[in-house]
Amino acid sequence: MSHSAHPRAAVGEEPPSVSESGRVAALLSFASGSHARACALLIVLALAFFLPGFVSLQPMDRDEPRFAQASKQMLETRDFIDIRFQDDTRYKKPVGIYWLQSASVAAGGALGVVDPLRTIALYRLPSLIGAVAAVLLGYWAALAFVTQRNAFLATAMFAGCILVGVEARLAKTDAVLLSTVVFTMGALARHWLSSATPNAAAPLSRGMIVLFWVVMGLSILIKGPITLMIAVLAAAAISVSRRSLRWLAGLRPGLGLVIMLAIVLPWLAAIVSKTGTAFFSEAIGNDMLGKVAGAKERHGAPPGTYFGVFWATFWPVAPLVALAAPFAWRGRSDAKVLFLLAWVIPSWLVFEAVPTKLPHYVLPLYPPLAMLVMLAHERGALRFDSRWAKLGLGLVALIPVLLLVGLPAAFVTLDRTFPIALILLLAAAAAFSIVALLRFRRGRFETGVAASLAAAFMTTLAAYPFGLPQLQSINLSRRLADAANGVSCSQPKIVTTGYREPSLVFLTASDLAMSDGAGAAQFVTLPGCRIAFVEQKEEAAFLAAVKDKAAHLALKERVEGLNINSGRKLDIGVYVNK
C-alpha cells in the first residue's frame, strides 16, 4: 500500500506540506520508508515508555505479587502443574502465565541475577515482552486499515497510552493476553477484508490460519476464553450486519477446534489427575461465573464505568477517539470501519454488563480505537474547528495538569518531602500537552500527536522512576523486607500481624506466617531466629502475650506508611528474637 500520497485534508486543516513540522514529517517519512525501520522505531518507543520504573517499582498489591508468588512456589517446589499461593490453591487463571514467569526467573538465575526468586523484574519480563509484541502486532494489524505512515502513528499512540504502560510493568496476564488478541484480530481482519473487498486484501495463507488457531489456544492457557470471546463476538456482529456466515468458512473452525484442544487438554488432564475437579470449580464456577453473577473482591461498579475511566486510561488518545466517533457512525457500513467497531462494541458491552470491573479488562479493545482515529484522519474526517472538538481536546491537557497537582501533594502529605524532579517532569508534561492541544486545534494533526506523546513520556518518567518507587509511605512491604534482611541471623522465620499483603509474602518467604497479636507472640518465642511484624493495633496483645518468654526479644525498628489497598495508615514494629 502506498504511503507517499497525502490524505485529503480535513475541513479547516492546512495541507500536510504546510501544516506539519519538518522534523516530525521527516521522522514519519523515515519510519514509513520500510517495515523494518518502522518496527525498530516502535520497539525503541515502546521500551522508552515501558522500561522506566520496571525494576524499581515494588510488587504492586494485590494481583501482581499473587501471580509472582505462585510462580515462585512452582520453582521452589518443582511442581509446574498445581498453582498455589502459600498453602492455598490459586485456580482463578490457567497455568500459562506461571510457566512464562517461571521460565523468565529460571533464565535470570542461570545468567547470574542475585536472588532471582525475589527479583520482581524477572517475573515482569513476560509482560514487557507481551506489551512490546502487542505494539509490533498492532502495527501489523493497522496496516490492514491504513497506510504505513498512519499505521506507525496509530501504534505509537497506543504504545504511549497510560494503561498499556501500567500492564507492561506488572507481572500479570494482561499484557501477554493483549498480544494474543491483537494478533488474532489482525488475522481475522485480513480474512474479513479479503472476502469483503477481495481486490484490496489477499486471503490468509494456510500457515496463517493454523497460526491463528495456535495463538487462540495459547491465549486460553494464559487467561481462559477472553481472546476467543472477543473474536467470536466480532465475527457475530459482522455476520449479523452482513446477514451471512459464509465469510467464516475459510477459517476452518473444525481444524481450529482440534488445534486448540491439542494445546489446552494436556495441562487440563494433568491438573484434573492431580486435583480432581477443583480447578474447574474455582476457575469457572467461582471466578468467571462469579464475576458475572456479582462483584468479586470489592471490584463492583455500575455499567458505564469503563466509559468513564476510558478518558484517563487511554490518555492521550481518548480525546481523538471522541473526534473520530462521528466518522465511525457515518461509515459503519464500510468494511474497515465495520470490523473496527465489531472488535470494540460487542465486547465492551459485555464488560460493562459484568458487575466485576477492573480498568485493564477493556485494554484489548483500545488498539482498534487508535486505528479508527487514523482511518478517520486518513480519510480527512477529523474536525478540529467545532466547539465540541475544542472542548473535547481540552482533555489532552487535563491529565498532566491533574497529576501536577496530585502527585506532589501525595509526597508532601505522606512523606513530608517536596519532589522537585517530579514537579519539573510533570510541568514539562503539562507544557507538551498544551502544545499538543494548540497543534490539534490548528489542524496540525501529526505534530499534535508528537507533542502528546512527548507529554505522555514525561508523565511516564514522573510516575515511575521519580514517582511511585520514591514514595516511601506506600512501599511498606519492601521496607519490612529490608528490615528482615538486616537481621544478623540467617534464614529467620517471620510472622506478621495486622498487615497481610501478598507483596510481603513474595519479598520475604513463602512460609511467612500470618496471625493475630497473641499468635505472633507464641510464634516469636519458639526456638531459632524469629521476626515479628506487629501492627500497632495488635501490639498490646502481642507484648502482653510475650511477657518474659522471649529473653532476647527486641524492637529493631518501626515502619510507618499507608496501605494503598485498605487506605489505612499503619505503624508496624519489627521485633526480633534471636
Farthest-apart Cα atoms in the chain, separation:
87
Q: b vs e for 159-188, b when ≥16 Cβ sit within 10 Å of the residue's Cβ? A: bbbbbbbbbbbbbbbbbbbbbbbbbbbbbb
Helices and strands (H, E) in the chain, number of each type: 26, 7
Tens of pLDDT along 282-321? 877 666 665 565 555 556 789 999 999 999 999 999 999 9
* Residue keyed to cell 484490496: 200
- Mark the ranges of the chain whose per-residue pLDDT is less than 70: 1-21, 200, 285-299
Peptide bond between residue 355 and the one before it cis (omega within 30 degrees of 0) = no
Q: What would the DSSP string read from start to end of 276-328?
A: TTHHHIIIIIIIIHHHHHS--TT-B--TTHHHHHHHHHTTTTHHHHHHHHHHH
User: CA-CA distance, 73 to 79, in Å (whole number)?
Assistant: 8
Q: Sheet of 530-535: strands edge to edge?
A: 513-514, 493-497, 530-535, 569-577, 553-562
What is the per-residue pLDDT for 16? 43
Instruction: Report how far apart, in Å, the C-alpha atoms of 12 and of each of 97, 213, 321 are.
Output: 49, 46, 19
Q: Which residues contact 354 (CB under 8 A, 6 or more apart)?
A: 291, 292
Angle at 55 between CA 54 and CA 57, to 5 degrees: 75
User: CA-CA distance, 450 to 156, in Å (whole number)?
Assistant: 9
> In the 3-class helix/strand/coil scheme, how is 343-354 assigned residue by residue?
HHHHHHHHHHHC
User: CA-CA distance, 576 to 143, in Å (whole number)?
Assistant: 61
Rounded to the nearest integer, the mean pLDDT of the chain is: 91
Which of 100, 93, 104, 102 is closest to 75 using CA atoms?
A: 102
What is the per-residue pLDDT for 281? 81
User: CA-CA distance, 117 to 122, in Å (whole number)?
Assistant: 8
Class of residue 300 by CB neighbours under 10 A (exposed 0-12, middle 13-18, buried 19+): middle
* Residue 562 parent element (H or E): strand 553-562
Tens of pLDDT along 349-373? 999 999 999 999 999 999 999 999 9
Tens of pLDDT along 115-161? 999 999 999 999 999 999 999 999 999 999 999 999 999 999 999 99
Rounded to 10 deg, the angle between the 35-50 and 445-463 helix axes is 40
| β-sheet bridge partners, residue 576 | 531, 554
| β-sheet bridge partners, residue 533 | 496, 574
Q: b vs e for 355-393, b when ≥16 Cβ sit within 10 Å of the residue's Cβ? A: bbbbbbbbbbbbbbbbbbbbbbbbbebbbbeeeebeebb
The three-state secondary structure class of 571 is strand
Q: How many CB atoms lie within 10 A of CB 47?
A: 17
Instruction: Report how far apart, in Å, the C-alpha atoms of 151 and of each of 7, 188, 345, 448 are.
Output: 13, 17, 21, 16
* Residue keyed to cell 521452589: 76
Query: Quick one: CA dihedral 384, 388, 394, 396, positive or negative?
Result: negative
| H-helix segments, 415-475 | 420-441, 445-463
Q: Which residues contact 99 (CB under 8 A, 6 or more apart)?
A: 80
* Residue 573 parent element (H or E): strand 569-577
What is the per-residue pLDDT for 282? 80
Give Cα 154 distance to the centre of its chain. Answer: 18
Q: How many CB atoms lie within 10 A of CB 424?
A: 14
Query: Is 195 in contact with 250 (CB distance < 8 Å)?
Result: yes
User: CA-CA distance, 87 to 84, in Å (whole number)?
Assistant: 6
SS3 content of the chain, % helix, strand, coil (to 5): 65, 5, 30
* Residue 148 parent element (H or E): helix 148-159
Which of 39, 8, 15 is closest to 148 using CA atoms?
A: 39
Q: Which residues contact 402 (CB under 8 A, 6 or more apart)?
A: none
What is the per-residue pLDDT for 14? 40
* Residue keyed to cell 496476564: 173
> In the 3-class helix/strand/coil scheme, how is 367-417 assigned residue by residue?
HHHHHHHHHHHHCCCCCCCCHHHHHHHCHHHHHHHHHHHHHHHHHHHHHCC
Instruction: Report how far apart, in Å, the C-alpha atoms of 30 and of each of 17, 140, 141 are.
Output: 16, 17, 20
User: CA-CA distance, 102 to 294, in Å (whole number)?
Assistant: 32
Q: Which residues contact 382 (CB under 8 A, 6 or more apart)?
A: 10, 13, 320, 323, 324, 327, 373, 376, 445
